[in-house]
Amino acid sequence: AQKITQTQPGMFVQEKEAVTLDCTYDTSDQSYGLFWYKQPSSGEMIFLIYQGSYDEQNATEGRYSLNFQKARKSANLVISASQLGDSAMYFCAMREGRLGNQGGKLIFGQGTELSVKP
Amino acid sequence: DSGVTQTPKHLITATGQRVTLRCSPRSGDLSVYWYQQSLDQGLQFLIHYYNGEERAKGNILERFSAQQFPDLHSELNLSSLELGDSALYFCASSGGTGLHQPQHFGDGTRLSIL
């Protein structure tokens, strides 16, 4: 069964430093998509970045990049030059290629709470 | 602003009651997904509609039902509410069901059962 694991319940980072949030996944599909979302304390879910299983390049979006290691089944989020506004919960999610009766649902990890220190 | 609108933002009600949560997807998005976020279960997929048709069901209780209307807005109906139904309910939309298409989430409806 598909599964997402985020092993870091909480992390601290100093402002302006880079931080890596870990995500490993398990799927038997060859075709899948990986997503990262940010949930600030206000509660909304904000889409950050996407990586497809067939993408050869690591995805980047501004200060966010995804360190995709397919053989290890890991999709770690790297945030460069952390800002105070980056303090939030971060969720890794996966979507499998085969639809069938699964639709296009996302499977989420348990999240990592990031705190940025001034 | 994701472009997905959920109403109401907060809902407080009692056990045994019924509520309706409403979602308007982003303009042009045909897919609507409902998720439940609770402290013990995390984020769980409930149901997916595409252009008015149910596409997939997740761990959705029989007391819960949903539909997507011709104008593509969706409603999630929760009945015979129990304390354990207290959670943050999200609606998300996407242009289709392609792998590469991110789901854009609304701000959620926080449901509190007293």
Does A1 have pLDDT greater than 80? Answer: no
Query: Across all residues in chain A, what is the average pLDDT?
Result: 92
The predicted structure's pLDDT at residue B97: 67
pLDDT tens for each residue of chain B, 114 residues long: 889 999 999 999 999 999 999 999 999 999 999 999 998 889 999 999 999 999 889 989 999 999 999 999 999 999 999 999 999 999 999 987 677 889 999 999 999 999
B43 interfacial to chain A (CB closer than 8 Å): yes
Euclidean distance between CA atoms B45 and B5, whole angstroms: 18
The predicted structure's pLDDT at residue A101: 43
3-state secondary structure chain A: CCEEECCCCEEEEECCCCEEECCEEECCCCCEEEEEEEECCCCCCEEEEEEECCCCCCCEECCEEEEEECCCCEEEEEECCCCHHHCEEEEEEEEECCCHHHCCCCEECCCEEEEEEC
- Residue B111 carries which DSSP code? E
Amino acid at B82: E
Report chain B residues whose CB lies below 8 A from the CB of A106. 33, 35, 43, 45, 92, 103
Token pair listed for B39: 């402290």
Token pair listed for B102: 């991110």
- Cβ B108–A97 below 8 Å, yes or no? no
Nearest-CB residue to A104 (from B90, B94, B107): B94
The predicted structure's pLDDT at residue A5: 96
Q: What is the residue whose two structure tokens read 């319940």?
A: A9
Does A80 have pLDDT greater than 90? Answer: yes
A84-105 pLDDT tens trace = 999 999 999 998 766 544 568 8
